[in-house]
Amino acid sequence: MIPGEIYARHVIPVQPGPLYHLGADESVDETIQLVERLSKLEWFLHNFMTMHPSFEQQKFEFAKEDSDLEQWARRVAHLLGKRPHKDDLCYSRKGPDWEYWRGVKSEISLFRSPELYSAIESLHKASDVEQHVLDGVNGRIWQTGNLRNFVPAKEERRARKALQALAGQGEPIFTLLENRIIAALGEYVLAIPAEAGKAAFDSEREAVLARHQRESSLLFPPDEYLWATAIDGHRFEALIYDLITREPGVVSVRQVGGTRERDGGRDLLVEWITPPQNPNLAIPQGVPVQQQRLVVVQCKALASSVGKNKIPDIRDTLEHNDAQGYLLAASGTIATSAIDYLLRLRQKGDIFTDWWSRPEIEAKLRRNPDIAGRYPDIARPR
């Protein structure tokens, strides 16, 4: 074994499909496609990258003296904003010709390999997958076909600064993995560890949504909404479904049944992380203040006010669904009798209750204009 030689790396597919659940036909098809593509990639790398030395080059001649290599390693660490460490790895050789540096603490790797860069550039140019890049709050969001990735702004700046200092001005080629950002420019390929996969994409999307809501409320706030005189119950339930998905702490939302079916007093079931509402409730030490609970949601698309007589016995409904919370959503007003009933339930144990009448729904529509735009048949800005 040659010291410092690069042999292999494990690659575990995460996006776009469930490759580990091989019982579904779709997963089998995806696995076959993955194997075919990896086979083509291996053929490409073998034939177009001179990574396999000829017999005449088997001496594995190392190209630099130790002092030159040490100076190069220090420059690389400095450009990456890292302090050189005595255990950093740095190697150089010919046949094939490459140089390699890896920070022992940062786990950043840098290659100087004309062949490796050429292969990445060729694959990038050959790809016909449509790619979209959007500026987010903490970095940039990348959508490449069915793949979703995120590049933190700090790491993108680090990559650009180092590569442009080493290779000259130009636009780096970015290849994104779940836990690595690969950037290539000139003869250099840089690998930076970072959360750059689907989870990071989802987190940044939520940050963009929050920014979008703030900007919309400040720049484009509608004075008031004009509500339809007759509202379809199914459409109103769909509106509430969409609004709930934007609420903080919501884990999942499920529709129980058809709007006109007997549903036992529930239209939606929501897994929701909520704070305690009963000020007299003692929370044991070590137990989180906010708890994930199952919340029953009932939607009332009525022109008249919703009173206590129009909502079910909530305790029975919660027990029937093994739930710990109840939300009433009404397209009109909610009578005092219903509000008092929900407030009393808050004081009896750890039961979460809330209500959305027209003013609360309008406030949520202002924060989510994209949702409001999908339901002009229910409410639209004047």
Q: Are 296 and 322 in contact (CB under 8 A)?
A: no
Asked if 137 and 70 sit in the same domain, the reply is yes
**Residues across the chain:** 382
Q: Where is 188: in which H helix or E strand?
A: strand 188-193
Asked if 274 and 133 sit in the same domain, the reply is no
307 occurs within a structural domain: yes
Q: What per-residue confidence (pLDDT) applies to 56?
A: 47
Upstream peptide bond of 84 is cis (omega within 30 degrees of 0): no
Domain with 177, as residue range(s), is 49-201
- Residue 292, both tokens: 């994930």
CA atoms within 13 A on the CB side of 276: 14
Indicate the residue among 169, 201, 233 that finishes a domain.
201
Handedness of CA 223, 228, 231, 234 (dihedral sign): negative
Map tokens 């006010």 to a residue: 305
Q: What per-residue confidence (pLDDT) applies to 92?
A: 84
How many domains does the chain fold into? 2
Asked if 57 and 152 sit in the same domain, the reply is yes
Q: What is the pLDDT of residues 313-331, one digit of tens each?
A: 888 989 999 999 999 999 9
- 131 contacts: CB under 8 Å, gap ≥ 6: 142, 143, 144, 145
Indicate the residue among 201, 236, 263 that finishes a domain.
201
CA atoms within 13 A on the CB side of 301: 20
11 occurs within a structural domain: no
Asked if 61 and 174 sit in the same domain, the reply is yes
- CATH number, position 352: 3.40.1350.10
Q: What is the pTM of this model?
A: 0.63
Asked if 178 and 261 sit in the same domain, the reply is no
Mean pLDDT, all residues of the chain: 83
298 occurs within a structural domain: yes
206 occurs within a structural domain: no
Lowest mean pLDDT among 243-247, 295-299, 364-368: 364-368
Q: Where is 187: in which H helix or E strand?
A: none
156 occurs within a structural domain: yes
Nearest to 243 by CA among 67, 352, 347, 375: 375
Q: Which CA distances in Å does 258 have to 77, 92, 121, 233? A: 61, 67, 53, 10
Q: What is the pLDDT of residues 292-309, one digit of tens each?
A: 999 999 999 998 899 998
Residue 247 has pLDDT above 90, yes or no: yes
246 occurs within a structural domain: yes
**Mean pLDDT of the 152-163 span:** 96
92 occurs within a structural domain: yes
Asked if 197 and 59 sit in the same domain, the reply is yes
Q: What per-residue confidence (pLDDT) applies to 17?
A: 52
Supply the DSSP symbol for 264: T
Asked if 189 and 241 sit in the same domain, the reply is no
Asked if 240 and 337 sit in the same domain, the reply is yes
217 occurs within a structural domain: no
Q: What is the pLDDT of residues 171-193, one digit of tens each?
A: 999 999 989 999 999 999 999 99
Asked if 375 and 230 sit in the same domain, the reply is yes
Q: What per-residue confidence (pLDDT) applies to 116?
A: 87
Asked if 59 and 183 sit in the same domain, the reply is yes
* Cα(88)–Cα(73) distance, integer angstroms: 8
Q: Residue 29: left (phi > 0), alpha (psi -120 to 50), or beta?
A: alpha
Asked if 302 and 377 sit in the same domain, the reply is yes
- Residue 342, both tokens: 């929900």
* Burial class of residue 365, CB neighbours in 10 A (0-12, 13-18, 19+): buried
Asked if 183 and 141 sit in the same domain, the reply is yes
Indicate the residue among 131, 166, 201 that finishes a domain.
201
Q: What is the pLDDT of residues 25-41, one digit of tens each?
A: 555 666 677 677 777 76
